[in-house]
Structure 1
Amino acid sequence: MLSYVIGTASSFIRPWSHSTSPQTSLVRTHGPETFNVDSLAPGNASQCQSESSVHHILRHSDLYIVLGANRSANQDDLRRAYMNMCRQCHPDKFPDEPLATVAFQKLSYAYSVLSDTRKRRLYDTNGSTEPERAQDMRDADDTLNKVLLAIWADFLDGDFELIRMFLRSIGEMNPKLNFSDETMEALLQTLVNLRDVIVSGQQHFRLLKFELMRLYEIQHALRQLSYFDVPGRLKLTIQLARLTIALPVNVDKAIMAEQREGSNQQGGVGRPRGRYLPSSVHSVIGLACGFLEKGESVLPTRA
């Protein structure tokens, strides 16, 4: 999907490939935005614009309306609608909203029913608009984790290899990034290992899950663009690459912050160390993210 973009990227990248300044202190994953990916959400999600998503979910009993999907939605449509609504009601993102937990449980229940062919057929046949039971928080989290794990697996099997090609081409155009084969392999292996964070559902996944939702949105937005929209596809490819390589760094930072806090509470000393990446790879990723962000900023803005 991205090979055409990678093949023509040099004409856009070369003008700024030799002026990258080091940026290692902060790895941003949400830099310049030009595509409103939320506008690509399917079905009835637009009904939520005039009201809080939390109250929208709690107010309706029809599972399709709760999910923000059409009755003809396929599995991809359902998953996209679920991801879109999760971003708007997840209690980790809205801790001050007391009803967010209940809304998220109801949303996950709606997805678990409609994404199961047998349950969906029964629901459509019976015409019931009132779920028999809402999920508890553990069930709701399990539903979300399974979806995100599937998204990550799809990414590793598909766009991931093309991101590798894209990063290698950037490294060849700018040797200052020091994107050696060893560095690339270390980074790629840590990305594969992030699967364990998703499967375990550990607390660092709280940080990771919203990044994965964003990654999924960019992937979908990229697929909606014309094959010949080279600037648009390149801009989203840069966003996708920047978000991807920053994932393990941001998880590492969360782990280090936790270790630092624990050390302070115990009166310990010493600099906490990350779990996923060596410091040398941290530095390279910081430079690469700064490079990609600069490249994104010089591309034409899409209205």
Structure 2
Amino acid sequence: MDTITHTLFGIGIYKAVNKENMSKKEKQALLFTSIGASQIPDIDVISQLWDTTGQYQMWHRGITHSIFLVPVWAVLFSLLNSLFFRLKNWHFFWIAFLAVFIHITSDVFNAWGTGYLEPFSNVRLTFGTVSIIDFVIWFLFLIAFIISKTAKRIKEYRLFRFTWALIALHVLVQSVQGYILYEQHKPHYEQVALSASFVPWNFSIIGKNGDTVDIIQDSLLTKGRLIYQLQSASDNDLEELFKQNPKARTLNEWSPFVVVVNNDQQFGIYDPRFYRKGQSFLFEYIEKTQK
């Protein structure tokens, strides 16, 4: 998910805790823990500062997003609470544990995926059933914030716990629909990937047969529509590309499958899941020397 959504997750966790018997210091520690732990897996973005071999695409959402690091991050925030707030309470460990777990697990549901099982597996786990920026989640939190300020008779922590239940239901409904569509299209292609649209209940199905890649817009309520049909120059040897642009090798390993481009100007590969308006967000290439 994007940074704003992860921040909202942290605030949502803070709001969902009953703070009636907490001191001011405990509330401060709770806010620090819930928001900080909701963001900490993305600390891997700093790795691009020393990336000289084009590995950042694999490092980002890699080991820091592993399910096996959840208790490690939780211990870290327990120590930070002890250091900064002089508080030693297992309650904060479990808040951090929950916040990190929500972060890394929610990232699995979008097309970018995570190294959820690293270091025991370098497979990029991705469902593609929830958009990276999910406006439904934003809307649900916004409504909860408004109600919490206007309806004082409602306990804030109960309101936000109910909001969390609605978010979980939304993710479940999205994922069930995405799974059904994936299974419907799977028999027609050698390889299939799924990417959720910004519009709820709408998906892009990316299917590959040989050198042809179809991008289909579909939902359970509408008939599937072919948006793009791409041709991949798959018979080209990619070693020279990988040699000149190491990021291309990483992208090839990271993506479920790629489209190979070989024209008069460029030789490269891109991930068709992020193909919009004639180009992909993830495109690694080399420029050809003009004669």
**Where on the TM-score scale, by shorter chain, does this alignment land: which range?**
under 0.3
**Structure of higher RCO (CA pairs closer than 8 Å, 6+ residues apart):** 1
Bigger proportion of residues as helix: 1
Bigger proportion of residues as strand: 2
Q: Normalization by structure 2: what TM-score? A: 0.26
